[in-house]
Amino acid sequence: MTKNENSNERSHCGHGKPKSNGGKSSNKSTTNSQSKFIFNIKKAKRNDHQIKATFEDSEGNQIKELIHTFADGDQKELLIYFEKQLLKLGNRYNLFTEGKWKVLCQIGGRALEGRCEEIWESQVESLRGHNTGNSAAQRDKFKKAIQKFNKKYLGSATIVHQKDAMENGQLRYEGTDHEKTVERLFQINEDIELLSDDAEPFTMREMVRKIIPQNLKPAAKLKYLDKGGAKLREKDEVIELAREISEILDAEYEVEQARKQKQNNRSNHNHNGSQGNSQPAKEKRDNAPCRKHDGKHKWKDCPDNWSNKDRNSAAQGTTTPRNNNKSRSNRGEVTTTESGNSSSHSCS
- Do the domain assignments include residue 316? no
Map residue 12 onto helix, strand or coil.
strand
pLDDT for position 179: 97
Do 21 and 143 lie in a common domain? yes
Do 60 and 124 lie in a common domain? yes
Distant-in-sequence, close-in-space partners of 286: CB < 8 Å, separation ≥ 6: 298, 299, 300
Do 160 and 150 lie in a common domain? no
Run of H or E including 342: strand 341-346
What angle (nearest 5°) sits at the alpha carbon of residue 28, between those of residues 25 and 33?
Answer: 140
Run of H or E including 66: strand 62-68
- Do the domain assignments include residue 89? yes
- Do the domain assignments include residue 18? yes
Do 249 and 107 lie in a common domain? no
Handedness of CA 101, 107, 113, 118 (dihedral sign): positive
* Of 138, 154, 170, the domain-final residue: 154
d(CA 52, CA 291): 98
What angle (nearest 5°) sits at the alpha carbon of residue 47, between those of residues 165 and 83?
Answer: 65
pLDDT for position 281: 64
- Do the domain assignments include residue 160? yes
Do 227 and 124 lie in a common domain? no
Do 126 and 208 lie in a common domain? no
d(CA 56, CA 347): 124
* 86-113 per-residue burial string, b: 16 or more CB within 10 A, e: under 16: bbebbeebbbbeeebbbbbbbbbbbbbb
* Of 109, 130, 154, the domain-final residue: 154
pLDDT for position 340: 44
pLDDT for position 303: 82
- Do the domain assignments include residue 216? yes
Do 160 and 253 lie in a common domain? yes
Q: CA distances (Å), 223 to each of 41, 67, 174, 246, in order?
A: 20, 41, 18, 10
Do 150 and 160 lie in a common domain? no
Distant-in-sequence, close-in-space partners of 302: CB < 8 Å, separation ≥ 6: 290, 292, 293, 308
Do 12 and 122 lie in a common domain? yes
Do 18 and 80 lie in a common domain? yes
Do 120 and 45 lie in a common domain? yes
Which residue range(s) make up the domain with 226?
A: 156-268
Distant-in-sequence, close-in-space partners of 62: CB < 8 Å, separation ≥ 6: 3, 54, 55, 56
What distance lies between CA 292 and its chain's CA centroid? 68
pLDDT for position 226: 97
- Do the domain assignments include residue 288? no
Residues 129-171: pLDDT tens digits? 888 899 999 999 999 999 999 999 999 999 999 999 999 999 9
Do 148 and 2 lie in a common domain? yes
* Of 268, 295, 317, the domain-final residue: 268
pLDDT for position 273: 55
* In contact, 57 and 45? CB cutoff 8 Å: no
pLDDT for position 4: 47
How many domains, the chain? 2
- Do the domain assignments include residue 222? yes
**Within the chain, which residues score under 50 in pLDDT?**
1-34, 278, 320, 324-348
Residues 186-213: pLDDT tens digits? 999 999 999 999 999 999 999 999 999 9
The pTM (predicted TM-score) of the whole model is 0.68
- Do the domain assignments include residue 336? no
pLDDT for position 310: 56
